[in-house]
Chain A
Amino acid sequence: MKAAILVFPGINRDRDMARALKLISGHEPAMVWHAETSLPAGTDLVVVPGGFSYGDYLRCGAIAARAPVMDAVRDYAAKGGLVLGVCNGFQILCESGLLPGVLMRNARLKFICHDVHLRVERSDTPFTRGYNAGQVIRVPVAHGEGNYEADEETIKRLEGEGRVLYRYCSADGVVDEAHNINGAAQSIAGIVNDKGNVLGMMPHPENHVEDIMGCTDGRGLFAGLVQHLEKAA
């Protein structure tokens, strides 16, 4: 798997992501600076990592979404290339128009930094094939603006088309308001675009991939991507 990780000023999870991708795919990902106007040839996964691009000035992800490299990412996604955005990366993908909706301030205004449980809604996508449908995984979140909102029509479409891939839930998979950490519509933690090749999610699967991290539930996401690409090749 030839992954390319975008690097914006203020991004800080880029190296966690690089470590996880190297560990699971066996290949060192390329680090791509925001001022680049193209992606490395043969890239088969673009990752927009987490952090605080441009200090979250204006709105989270707003300025990064307009960086030169994002035009290349838009072209790449339009041709069906796989794009994964985590945390600030999810915010950037929403701001860039690659995903619908917006990430608002957490409903209870607190920055949330702890492990959460996610229910994997389906397993027949490149981003979830490493899991079983209905499986509950434990991964960390670290965000102040993760409250996913979109207009009613969009939410209806996301649900109708099965585009919510990850939802906040209890340890035994119950989705309810008590476990909806940030107040997101429909407890949404991760969604894909209409073609299913762009995923945005608030939690950090890359931070649960090694025993030393206390949990390896995040591996399935990356292992699934590797499998998907091997099968496609």
Chain B
Amino acid sequence: MKARVTVTLKTGILDPQGKAIEGALKSLGVDAVASVRQGKVFDIELAGADKAKAEAVLKEAADKLLANTVIENYRVEIV
């Protein structure tokens, strides 16, 4: 089973990297960009086919390591 965990910064957390990317896009003439927030994507392969169990495992992975929940949110998807 394939899954994806997306980690993003919580609203209100300053994102200097996103700001720099936003500035670079604007300087490239991609003017319609209003703002950029950057994050991380983890593509994960899981053994087994139980969807509910897989979601629990991914949640555990995100809470224990993939995200720092002080500043980040995460979303788990089975793809």
- Residue contact B71 to A104, C-beta cutoff 8 Å: yes
CA distance in complex: A76, B14 (Å):
34
Given A58-B65, A58-B66, A62-B65, decide whether A106 and B16 contact each other with a Cβ distance below 8 A. Answer: yes
- Taken residue by residue from 57 to 74, chain B's Cβ proximity to chain A (1 for < 8 Å, 0 otherwise) reads as 000000011101011000
> A101-B70, A102-B70, A150-B70 in contact; A66/B16 too (CB < 8 A)?
no
By size class, the interface of chain B is: 10 to 19
- Does A109 sit at the interface, judged by CB under 8 A? yes
Asked if B16 and A102 sit within 8 Å, CB to CB, the answer is no
User: B70, A105: Cβ atoms under 8 Å?
Assistant: no
- Complex Cα spacing A108 to B14, Å: 11
B14 to nearest A CB, angstroms? 7
- Residue total for A at the interface (Cβ-Cβ under 8 A): 19
Given known contacts A104-B14, A149-B13, is B20 in contact with A59 (CB within 8 Å)? no
Write the nearest CB–CB distance from A68 to chain B, whole angstroms. 15
What 7 new A-B contacts, CB under 8 Å, besides A102-B70, A108-B16?
A58-B66, A62-B68, A95-B68, A104-B16, A104-B71, A107-B16, A183-B14
List the interface of chain A (C-beta within 8 A of B): 58-59, 62-63, 66, 95, 100-102, 104-109, 149-151, 183
Binding site for A on B (CB under 8 A): 13-14, 16-17, 20, 64-66, 68, 70-71
Instruction: List the 7 closest A-B pairs by CB distance, nearest first.
Output: A105-B16, A102-B70, A109-B16, A102-B71, A109-B20, A59-B68, A102-B68
